[in-house]
Amino acid sequence: MRLLVLGGTHFLGRHVATAALDRGHEVAAFSRGVTGAPPDGVRPLRGDRDDPAALPRALDGWTPEVVVDTSCQTRPAADHAAAALAGVRAYAFVSSLNAYSTWPPGPVRGEDGPTWDTPDDDYGPNKAYAERVLGAALPGRFLTARAGLILGPHDNVRRLPWWLQRIARGGRVVVPDALEQPIALVDVRDLAGWLVEMAARGQAGPVNATGPAGMTTLGGLLETCREVTGSDAELVPVPEEDLLAAGVEPWLHLPFWLPRETAATAWDVDTARARALGLPSRPVRDTVADTWAWLRQDPERLPTPHGLPEPGLPGELEATLLAGR
Ligand SMILES: NC(=O)c1ccc[n+]([C@@H]2O[C@H](COP(=O)([O-])OP(=O)(O)OC[C@H]3O[C@@H](n4cnc5c(N)ncnc54)[C@H](OP(=O)(O)O)[C@@H]3O)[C@@H](O)[C@H]2O)c1
């Protein structure tokens, strides 16, 4: 089968390309060539998806049968893909739980909740717009995977890599005193392989694509980081009120931490459809250990940043919070 990945050079797109090759498909990946090349064996196609002529020009007679779209972040990118690729047999789109106008804080019950329908040029509204435009262009052939937290090797958003590297350095590590907070995540390789399989079989419709609610906790994840790094770091729980008063930004400075009011519902996402459609959920320890093994291959060479702010607690803020504790 000829499978086109939109993206395909790092993190999820890279794993999608690899998963498709592993399953014997002929794979092409479309990207600008800014952040590296796709894996060996993939036909690289070059162009900017914000340019309406770029996709038809790059395809140049190579006709994909199915598409996995990991790189759509703008409305023009969705419009141009809908115009160029409406004839494919199946189109699997990587959206986000942020497409729901009620999440965060959620909860998310099934896939029928309202999605954004506003003109703002923001992440969630843009994903929801792309779902509408592509869904209309590909009736009955469009799957939208509303992904939650994606973790694993080649992570260019760097939230788990930051925790692993901070805990590996040892000493006293500030953690929120919300270690019992439930967390759900999807391993990037589980999601990638599943997307390829869903596209190959022409599965359509919206799917909350993350791990089962309550599969781990913030404390469980951080303890696993300690185990796999072999660190003797001391985790120092700091009350939420003190973190907020010191200017610690939830999710950014202490990745995965949400204030308790939001956390109570944000991690409560119904994934029954994903489970019924066979989205795997490997043990969290495997995801953490494999991310650490990947980081250790060359700790200085983190992947090209995603363009989001760099996660992690600034050293001076950590020192202030630890003083007197
Ligand atoms: N990380 C999470 O926890 C999370 C959670 C929910 C949803 N998601 C979604 O999951 C997906 C993750 O995808 P990803 O990991 O593969 O990385 P990504 O950073 O979203 O996608 C980057 C890929 O797209 C290409 N690209 C970027 N801009 C382009 C443009 N204008 N024209 C053509 N190609 C372009 C990049 O190559 P070049 O730079 O070389 O062009 C690269 O191959 C995203 O759609 C994201 O919104 C992520």
Q: What is the bridge-based pairing of β-strands 43-46 and 26-31?
A: parallel
166 and 238 co-located in one domain: yes
Does residue 245 share a domain with residue 225? yes
pLDDT in tens, the chain (325 residues): 999 999 999 899 999 999 999 999 999 999 999 988 999 999 999 999 999 999 999 999 999 999 999 999 999 999 999 999 999 999 999 999 999 999 999 999 999 999 999 999 999 999 999 999 999 999 999 999 999 999 999 998 999 999 999 999 999 999 999 999 999 999 999 999 999 999 999 999 999 999 999 899 999 999 999 999 999 999 999 999 999 999 999 999 999 999 999 999 999 999 999 999 999 999 999 999 999 999 999 766 666 666 778 899 999 999 999 998 8
CATH of the domain at 170: 3.90.25.10
Q: How many domains does the chain have?
A: 2
Quick one: angle between helices 11-22 and 188-200, nearest 10? 50
Q: What is the pLDDT of residue 308?
A: 77
Residue 42: inside a domain: yes
Query: How far apart are alpha carbons 197 and 176 in whole angstroms?
Result: 38
Gap between the Cα atoms of 159 and 290, Å rounded: 15
Q: Is 50 in the pocket of ligand 1 (CB under 6 A)?
A: yes
Question: Quick check: is 266 in a domain?
Answer: no
CA distance 83 to 51: 12
Residues 98 and 239 in one domain: no
Shared domain check, 132 and 197: yes
In single-letter form, the type of residue at position 300 comes to E
Q: What is the CATH number of the domain that holds 70?
A: 3.40.50.720
Residue 24: what residue type?
Answer: G
* Together in a domain, 79 and 142: yes
Read off the amino acid at residue 110. G
Residue 75 lies inside a defined structural domain of this protein: yes
Helices (H), the chain: 11-22, 54-59, 75-85, 123-137, 159-169, 188-200, 218-229, 240-245, 260-266, 272-276, 284-297, 315-322
Same domain, 225 and 315: yes
Same domain, 166 and 202: no
Residue 34 in domain:
yes
Q: Which atom of ligand 1 is nearest to the CA of 151?
A: 3
**Rg, Å, the chain Cα set:** 20
- Same domain membership, residue 87 and residue 164: no
Residues 90 and 122 occupy one common structural domain: yes
What is the Å distance from ligand 1's center to 6 Cα?
A: 8
Output the pLDDT for position 35.
84
Query: What is the domain extent for residue 76?
Result: 2-150+186-209
> Does one domain contain both 166 and 298?
yes
Mutate to test the pocket of ligand 1, among 4, 6, 12 (most ligand atoms within 8 A of CB): 12
Is there a cis peptide before residue 39, judged by omega within 30 degrees of 0? no
pLDDT at 300: 63
Give the position, in ligand 1's atom list, of the atom nearest the Cα of 150: 3
Q: Is 102 in the pocket of ligand 1 (CB under 6 A)?
A: no
Q: Are residues 66 and 119 in the same domain?
A: yes
> How many angstroms separate the CA atoms of 106 and 34, rounded?
35
Q: Are residues 178 and 305 in the same domain?
A: yes
Residue 272 in any domain: the answer is no
